[in-house]
Amino acid sequence: VLDAGGEPAWVESNKVKTGTTMLYLEFDNGVVLGADTRATSGEVVADKMCAKIHYISPNIYCCGAGTAADTEKTTDLLSSNLTIFSMNSGRNPRVVMAVNILQDMLFRYRGQIGASLILVGWDNKGPGLYYVDDNATRLSGRMFSTGCGSSYAYGVIDSGSREDMTVEEAYELGRRGITHATHRDAYSGGVVNL
């Protein structure tokens, strides 16, 4: 951009805040993955029913925050790679294999892809719960919440999480965590998907 004198003028870019709330938690009998469905673009609700939980393989699912197109394309590519692996080997992929492929894809573009993803699965080693962001930072744990409503969801799931939860109790805790965030964070909302 040039100013009136023909000299370069610096233009400040305003980053658009995208909002979401995602969580996952592990318990004795499985894992719960949850997300809201509101997609925002700045102060505008762009989509009330945005699918944020993505199928990767029969034993792996992923939840994405960030730019909706980037998360959709990244999860589609990951799913395609793992489908080819399954067809060639005749077995389901391990969760750590999916995380390695995802981390490699995101690192290759070094922040150019706007996607922060929670990858959850169950394989012969048990549950695998990982968070991978757009800079390819990789974290593993028993529970995570990301997005702008995550601090609200953390308050609920951190205080109510136990290892000996039943499936019904784990679903209810996940639902309460996302619902709590959608009532307090203006950028989260819609329906709770678990």
pLDDT in tens, 38-59: 988 878 888 888 889 999 999 9
Query: Is 22-184 a domain of CATH 3.60.20.10?
Result: yes
- pTM exceeds 0.85: no
Alpha-carbon torsion, ordered 47, 49, 54, 59, to 10 deg:
170
Active-site residue set: 20
* pLDDT at residue 5 in the model: 54
pLDDT in tens, 134-175: 888 999 988 988 888 989 999 999 999 988 999 999 999 999
For the chain, the 3-state helix, strand and coil shares in percent, each to the nearest 5, are 35, 30, 35
pLDDT of 65 > 90? The answer is: no
